[in-house]
Amino acid sequence: MAKHQITNQVRTLRFMAGEMTQQELADHVGVSRQTIAAIEKGKYSPTLELAFRIAHVFSVPLQEAFSYNPADE
Amino acid sequence: MFVLIDKNSTSSDKYSIMTYQEKRSIVHLVSAILVPVIYFWFVFQGNPTRDMNTDELLYFWARAILLSIPVTIVAHILIAIVFGISSVISSREKIPKEDERDKMIELKAMQASRYVFGFGVLLAMGALVGGMSVNMMFLALVGSGILSGVVEQLSKLYFYRNGI
């Protein structure tokens, strides 16, 4: 599985936003439901634009939706 | 088989065991093997290259490869249409639109397939330099083309399953 240093709280934000479904979030930001699922599972890091769009949907700053964790060396 | 595996995916929040993209990769993987194999099986019916000289062989292979292009395109389009319709009917979900993740996966899969095909071309040239026949060179080229298609679909399947 691909390792990502970027984690997200998309699933949590989604449930806090009136239990928004993955499909609804996908429709808001213009991607497929499978892409939202992959982001939540940490299998895909979105582009900067998509990350901003997701944060905008939940009306939160980018850092609240996505966080960067440098790998230990 | 794909219909049975996916039958539980009814709500938009449930995960399918296999997503549409994964099933599509498997279908394209099978067609990437079957379409050229069936086409060249028809082309080589009756062993037409048996008594050909080099010029005739070159013409034969050039014609076969050029004709394979529209045949392959039409076959893939038909298979994609049939798969799309059956997928919509069986899963009752609309076909997901292509987004940035799909494009990224396609790009990475194409990179992998290009490496394979490039290696195959070198192998074909090496076959000629090594004293093998023109037939062997073209077989190596066609084989590497088929293999690169297989690698592309396997790569897509891997990336869709395990992430990129």
Average pLDDT per 10 consecutive residues for chain B, totaling 164 residues: 40 60 93 94 88 90 95 94 89 82 96 97 94 92 95 96 91
Q: Which helix (H) or strand (E) holds B53?
A: none
ipTM over 0.85: yes
Alpha-carbon distance of B140 to B157, in angstroms, equals 25
Report yes or no: B112 and B152 within 8 Å, Cβ to Cβ.
yes
A60 compared with A69, residue with greater pLDDT: A60
Alpha-carbon distance of B9 to B13, in angstroms, equals 9
Record: contact A1-B99, CB cut-off 8 A: no
Question: What pTM does this model have?
Answer: 0.83
Q: Cβ contacts (< 8 Å) between A21 and chain B: which residues? A: 12-13
Q: Is A30 left (phi over 0), alpha (psi -120 to 50) or beta?
A: left
Q: Is B118 on the interface with A (CB under 8 A)?
A: no
Query: Shortest CA distance to B156 belongs to which of B118, B115, B121, B111?
Result: B111
Alpha-carbon distance of B8 to B114, in angstroms, equals 37
* Measured CA distances, B72 to B1, B68, B78, B82, B155 (Å): 25, 6, 10, 15, 20
Record: contact A31-B101, CB cut-off 8 A: yes
